[in-house]
Structure 1
């Protein structure tokens, strides 16, 4: 009977430690250490991936730059052309007045002579002359361009055609008329006229 009483009054022993009942302080520190280690490992992997992506991007940029064509160097002739400045200004626009044609023609010829590098061929010269025209003569020249008239290939032919369009006589014809006018009152002019074969032809 006494033994039965002792068994009844003996307090029950606490159950053994289990995960359902909680963790000890040592176990908590261990779990925290593992979590920190995992976090550091993840950060290192992330930094490694970022570094690889950055290197790959730089390599791709270098590849694109290497495949792009480099700008061609300016030839020495073009450099001289850019640095050169024509010593005279281009002539003013010509509106078709007869009294201004001789001056306009002389100024254009002088300008093209002093700026020869800008006018490598006859077509370029004719184009410059057309650009300096305005008004009626500009419309006349435009019609010639539309029709692709052969006179656009030669400066002399273009100027001669422009003279005819303006109704102007050639220099030779004007000289003959002027001498004949003077001959009427001056015997010496008549003698000189007969001694100039080119005017009598």
Structure 2
């Protein structure tokens, strides 16, 4: 290795050490995915793709089922989540995405949208998934979910919809997620 390559490698290692220190502090806050997402986005030295990979890996640690699909969260804001999924490795014998992979992807994006609205002591658990398969899904898929702000703190049920589209922006599946909520904090 040349001296320049050693310097670049040293800088990269230093950046990764700093990033891992910040991430490890925020791991305890994984109940609040928006806080972790914002912490990663405040690390200006990391490319956006690396930040998305780190966040998606952390989601995989929090929800091990998501490790079976190749997804990246691309946007996370209060009440909104978007992600992409590459589908080469999760195709079934019919050369389309397996239904369970679509549901895992949609549930992950929908859950992040819901959890971004919850306070520290709030809880939400998924009680129902309704999936409508509209078109055969192949290639790069995009999922998005938008949840309205919670206005009624006494409500015990929250419903959100996840749209999954293909590369041609055709809707391939619509998931309706029903959550049982315990909203304790203000």
Structure 2 length normalisation: TM-score? 0.35
Q: Which has the larger radius of gyration?
A: 1
Larger relative CO (CA 8 A, sep 6+): 1 or 2? 2
Query: What TM-score do you get using the length of structure 1 for normalisation?
Result: 0.33
More helix by share: 1
